[in-house]
Amino acid sequence: MSSIPVPQTAKRPRTGPSSISAPSAAAGPSRLREPGTRAASASRVGGLASSMGASTRSATAAAAASTTAASRRAGATVPRAPMGNATNRTVTSARTVVSAKPGLTGAGKPVSSVRRTVSSASSANGIDVEPSRMDAMESRLSSMQELFDLERQKTEEKWNKERTERLAQEEKVRQLEEDLLEQRKLASSRQEEIKRRRTLADDELLQLNAKHAREKRMLEEELDRERQTVSALKSTLSQQSTSHLTMESTNSALRAQVTVLQTEVEQLKAKIASMEGDVQAAKEYSLHLETELREAESLRRKLHNEVQELRGNIRVFARVRPTTQNDANNGAEALATIRFPNEREATQIEILAAGESATGTVTMKNHLFTFDRIFQPSATQADVFEEIAHLTQSVLDGYNTSIFAYGQTGSGKTHTLEGAPTSITSADPSSDDGAGLIPRAVQMLWSTAESLKDKGWKYDFEGQMLEIYLDNINDLLGKAEVDKGKHEIKHDKGRTTVSDTVVVPLETPAEVFKLLEKAKRRRQVAATLMNERSSRSHSVFMLRVRGTNATTMEACDAVLSLVDLAGSERLANSGSGADPVRLKEAQSINKSLSSLSDVISALGQNKGANHVPYRNSTLTWLLKNSLGGNSKTLMLLALSPMAAHLNESLCSLRFATKVNSTTIGTAKAVKTITA
């Protein structure tokens, strides 16, 4: 009686939340019942009551009563034991305790009220129950209530899960029924299609039978024809047997001939193998020669430019033009006395002119001038170009080269540079006797550049055409008819550039000739007393040449400048004094030529400390690198053979002599080593 054993069901571990799945929200109460589960719960409650012993009959009766009440609520049947009046009253009181939730009794009453109820029941029956036993009973009752609730929750979750599965199975069955109905429809349509095809097949079979009958008749007819052909072939075969014997004899002869030819082929193969060896040796020798050729080309460039340097970095050529119809129209028919003392060397020119002594006596005086080359009136354009061709070659070698024509109006400067009006558009200037230096030089540059491709050189050309009119630069290739822009001349490391001018890439000589023709039409020209269409400005044609050699990893960059200077005659001879515009043009021309004379005089002193007045005119500033730089320069002096122009010719000769005595620095090639 002192100790009451605790039932094992009270010590069972509770199932965690993870082992109990929440019931589905959509699932309603289950229609299934599980009596076995509730019966098991009732049996556990019965075991608890029996363990309490006989001394606690009233409490056992109360527990049994609560178990009976719980079983009744769950729908299970629990056998009843006969009880007395006192026992019934106790059980009734215990039912009140069990009907509450864990920790509560009745309609939310606390456990203490249960204790009072049990105490009162015990007092009524004359049973004295200790408080500790009451607490134990209360804890057991609470554990039992928790077990009941847990079993109820598990049962409801299981019922909900089964209902959800049942609904899913019903949905699956419905879907299968729909699929079956669709398959039946497809089978029906396929069956109809098969029937239709069977009908078509029967029709096609009939057609094939008819076609087969026709083909059979045709084949029988063809067989008859073939039999006739075979008969004819047999007769032909008998006729060809004799020919066959003849062909066999011929075949034997041909076989013998083939044997001889095969022997010859073998000999030729051996000869070809020997020749291939010779070709390989020739290739190796050719490669060796190409290497030597490149070395020889480099040596040629060096020696060629050394020869040009020995001749002088500023060279002067003089050319006396022949008489023209224009001379007779101007009333200047008398020829001046011009002699060429040494025609073989052609380096001297002598002019007989009247001179006045200190006493005022007029006497004839000989004026002898010596230059690098003198061309008589009989000299052709080809003769002149032959002398300057070596100088033009230096452009491809990387040397800046400048050629400018100097002389009075009508002396033949433009004709020497450009040639006849139609020669500049000639397809082959070398075959045109009237072609000038510019078209010939352009043609030679392109031809030489093409021949140097075998040595690994590739050249690119660019051109621009400028005009100096009234000491201002006009771009003759610009878009506007009259160039009003301000152009700035810049010198950087031997290279002269003019800002805001058009530079045109050139692919062929024909493009150069089109460029020159366009520039020629836009030059400022006007009529003077000495020439019907005299240029009143200086024109400068600049051809830039860039070359690269992928074999030797060399590169060069040079410019060929061809300058056609304006007429150098005095105002009295040109007749420009009466026209203010022509007077201004003549003054500007003479000023620029005077500045050119001053620059050459300063360079002729050959003293580095002296100031060279390049900036005195736009012409001298543009030609700075052509005169005092490291370029090669040629001055071509044009002379008139007429006696009326003798004084102007003497002035030009004296100016040319001053240029010829000028010494500048050694020309240097503009070359780089490419990476």
Tokens 């040494």 -> residue: 342
* Domain extent at residue 405: 312-673
Say if CB 509 and CB 443 are below 8 A apart: yes
Residues in the annotated binding site: 407-414
Q: Report pLDDT digits (tens) over 437-486.
A: 888 999 999 999 998 888 889 999 999 999 998 889 988 888 766 677 78
Q: Do 72 and 94 lie in a common domain?
A: yes
How many C-beta atoms lie closer than 10 Å to residue 115's C-beta?
18
* Phi, psi for residue 549 in degrees, rounded to 5: -125, 110
Q: Report pLDDT digits (tens) over 500-557.
A: 899 999 999 888 888 888 888 777 554 454 444 446 788 899 899 999 998 888 888 8
Sequential DSSP letters for 102-153: TTEETTTEEHHHHHHHHHHHHHHHT----HHHHHHHHHHHHHHHHHHHHHHH
Q: Do 293 and 200 lie in a common domain?
A: no
Q: How many CA atoms lie within 13 A of 160 on its CB side?
A: 15
pLDDT the model gives residue 238: 85
| Closest of 314, 436, 335, 388 to residue 639, by C-alpha | 335
Q: Do 384 and 477 lie in a common domain?
A: yes
The residue among 238, 264, 292 that closes a domain is 238
Residue 138 is assigned to a structural domain of this protein: yes
Q: Do 649 and 551 lie in a common domain?
A: yes
Q: Sign of the CA dihedral 571, 576, 577, 582?
A: negative
Distance of CA 281 to the CA centre of its chain: 43
Question: Which amino acid, 459?
Answer: Y
Residue 244 is assigned to a structural domain of this protein: no
pLDDT the model gives residue 350: 93
CA distance 489 to 496: 7
CA distance 133 to 4: 7
Q: Do 268 and 396 lie in a common domain?
A: no
CA distance 568 to 654: 13
User: Residue 590: which H helix or E strand, with range?
Assistant: helix 580-604
Residue 81 is assigned to a structural domain of this protein: yes
User: Residue 560: which H helix or E strand, with range?
Assistant: strand 554-564
Residue 192 is assigned to a structural domain of this protein: yes
Residue 2 is assigned to a structural domain of this protein: no
Q: Do 575 and 427 lie in a common domain?
A: yes
CA distance 409 to 326: 12
CATH number for position 485: 3.40.850.10
Residue 424 is assigned to a structural domain of this protein: yes
Helix (H, G, I), strand (E, B) or coil at 219: helix
The residue among 238, 269, 303 that closes a domain is 238
Residues in the annotated binding site for ATP: 407-414
Q: Give the residues of the chain that fall short of pLDDT 70.
A: 1-129, 294, 297-298, 300-313, 330-332, 356-358, 360, 422-430, 480-482, 494, 524-535, 570-578, 604, 606-610, 628-630, 663-675
**Torsion, Cα of 439, 440, 443, 449 (10° steps):** -130
Q: Do 274 and 412 lie in a common domain?
A: no
User: Residue 369: which H helix or E strand, with range?
Assistant: strand 362-370
* Phi, psi for residue 556 in degrees, rounded to 5: -140, 155
pLDDT the model gives residue 298: 64
Say if residue 498 is exposed, middle or buried (CB neighbours under 10 Å; 0-12, 13-18, 19+): middle
Say if CB 587 and CB 471 are below 8 A apart: no
Residue 415 is assigned to a structural domain of this protein: yes
Q: Do 195 and 263 lie in a common domain?
A: no
Helix (H, G, I), strand (E, B) or coil at 670: coil
267-306 as b/e: b if 16+ CB within 10 A = eeeeeeeeeeeeeeeeeeeeeeeeeeebeebeeebeebbe
CA distance 519 to 512: 11
The residue among 285, 311, 337 that closes a domain is 311
Q: Do 334 and 259 lie in a common domain?
A: no
**Parallel, antiparallel or unpaired: strands 472-475 and 362-370:** unpaired
Residue 15 is assigned to a structural domain of this protein: no
Say if residue 573 is exposed, middle or buried (CB neighbours under 10 Å; 0-12, 13-18, 19+): middle
Q: Do 287 and 156 lie in a common domain?
A: no
User: Residue 671: which H helix or E strand, with range?
Assistant: strand 671-673
**Torsion, Cα of 660, 663, 664, 668 (10° steps):** 80
User: Residue 474: which H helix or E strand, with range?
Assistant: strand 472-475
Tokens 């491809």 -> residue: 396
- Could you tell me the strand order of the sheet in which 337-339 lies? 337-339, 348-356, 362-370
User: Residue 619: which H helix or E strand, with range?
Assistant: helix 618-622
Say if CB 250 and CB 244 are below 8 A apart: no
Say if residue 322 is exposed, middle or buried (CB neighbours under 10 Å; 0-12, 13-18, 19+): exposed
CA distance 400 to 594: 24
Q: Do 370 and 225 lie in a common domain?
A: no
Distance set, CA 351 to CA 16, 72, 344, 369, 530 (Å): 136, 159, 18, 9, 21
CA distance 40 to 114: 26
The tally of domains found in the chain comes to 3
CA distance 449 to 135: 124
Q: Do 174 and 303 lie in a common domain?
A: no
Helix (H, G, I), strand (E, B) or coil at 236: helix
CA distance 379 to 407: 18
pLDDT the model gives residue 71: 44
